[in-house]
Amino acid sequence: MVNQQGPPVSPSVVDNESQLANPAAVFCEEQGGEIKMYEEEAGVAGYCVFEDGRICEEWALFRDGKCNAPE
């Protein structure tokens, strides 16, 4: 469940060449979305947010092409 009460958590910025970009986040952006990180009971989760209002869990979108909205 997404914590709607607090602001999204800022994703880590990749700032040196020794780190690799998150492939799910890159895929989201290639599809026209923007990554937003949210605090959940189990920790922080990334969602791909599209201008049309869809919110998709980033790894489900990357792996399976499925848009699993937050509960």
List the alpha helices (DSSP H) in 12-65. Answer: 23-30, 58-64
Q: Please, are residues 11 and 25 in contact by the beta-carbon 8 Å criterion?
A: yes
Among 11, 4, 23, smallest CA distance to 70 is for 4
Domain borders along the chain are 23-64
Q: Please, are residues 42 and 29 in contact by the beta-carbon 8 Å criterion?
A: no
pLDDT of residue 13: 44
- Written as six digits, the tokens of 33 are 């979305």
- Note the pLDDT tens digit of each residue in 2-31: 444 445 555 544 445 557 889 999 999 999
Kindly report the pTM of this predicted structure: 0.68
- Position 71 pLDDT exceeds 80: no
pLDDT of residue 68: 76
* Residue 61 pLDDT class (50, 70, 90 cuts): very high
**Bridge partners for 36 per DSSP:** 47
